[in-house]
Amino acid sequence: MAVTTAAYSGDNRSAQRGRPRDASRDDALRQAALEVMAEVGYRALTMDAVAARARAGKATIYRRWESKLDLVIDTCTQLASQNLATPDTGTLDGDLREFLSSFAAFLSGPIGKAAQALVGELPHEPELAAAFRETFLISQRNVLRGIIDRAGDRGELRPDAPRGMAVELAGAALTYRLMLTGDPLDETFVNKIVDQVLVPLIKS
């Protein structure tokens, strides 16, 4: 009798009252959502497909997120907060090169594919668009802005340097290759953007 109870409680762990939600399980579900979205896009994504990918029940997913919009927004938010480190090499060139290399690598993985899948939906889904911009766009924009402002504090920039334009161009250049042209997002390209465009644009 005791053994049977233990076996049942093992099968129903997440349903036990008062037990904290398993954060690593949430991450696995978000990872599954990301992979499905990268493969089929937002519109064709279903909770069933995410559940199947994560080897979870559909109820497990609905216990955590009310709708696929909730799930996708939460997935974007969590991922954006985890993946962008701020470099501090002591020079504008060094910081830009290090950050844009890591951002290019980040975009080349499943997150970039999922972001691409979302782009076509932004005009039709205002809540998704707001979340996408707050997470995916603003997080990288803030890191770039910090890099540039610190270079300004060190006296590396021209007084009239168009800082906002430099931030916008860096994001534009990388996402254009990722999503539209398909040309490589490699070290050579990052070096060209830094040396030919960003540094001449703002450095004194």
Q: Binders of a second copy: how many residues, by CB under 8 A?
A: 38
Q: What would the two tokens of residue 187 be?
A: 């070290």
In degrees, rounded to 5, the angle at the alpha carbon of residue 108 between the alpha carbons of residues 162 and 85 is 60
Kindly tell me which residue out of 27, 70, 121, 156 binds a second copy, with binding defined by CB under 8 A.
121
Cα angle value 46/35/77 (rounded, 5°)? 90
**175 is a site residue for a second copy (CB under 8 A):** yes
188 is a site residue for a second copy (CB under 8 A) = no
User: Look-up: residue for tokens 């990872």?
Assistant: 31
Residues 6 or more apart in contact with residue 175 via CB below 8 angstroms: 107, 115
C-beta of 57 vs 120, nearer to a second copy? 120
H/E element, 71? helix 68-83
Rounded distance between C-alpha atoms, residue 63 and residue 59, angstroms:
6
Least separation in angstroms between CB 54 and a second copy: 22
Look-up of token digits 């979870």 = 56
Name which of residues 79 to 98 contact a second copy (CB under 8 A): none
69 binds a second copy, rule: CB under 8 A:
no
Counting contacts by CB under 8 A, is residue 125 touching a second copy? no
SS3 203: strand
User: Which residues lie closer than 8 Å to 32 by C-beta, 6 or more apart?
Assistant: 50, 51, 53, 54, 56
Q: Does 182 bind a second copy (CB under 8 A)?
A: yes
- Per-residue x/- track, 126-155, a second copy (CB under 8 A): ---x---x---x------------------
Q: Select from 122, 134, 145, 146 the one that contacts a second copy (CB under 8 A).
A: 122
Q: Is 201 in the site for a second copy (CB under 8 A)?
A: yes
**Options 57, 90, 109, 120; binder of a second copy; rule CB under 8 A:** 120
- Confirm if 43 and 72 have CB atoms less than 8 A apart: no
Interacting residue ranges for a second copy, rule: CB under 8 A: 39-44, 113, 116-124, 129, 133, 137, 162, 165, 168-169, 171-173, 175-177, 179-182, 192, 196-197, 200-201
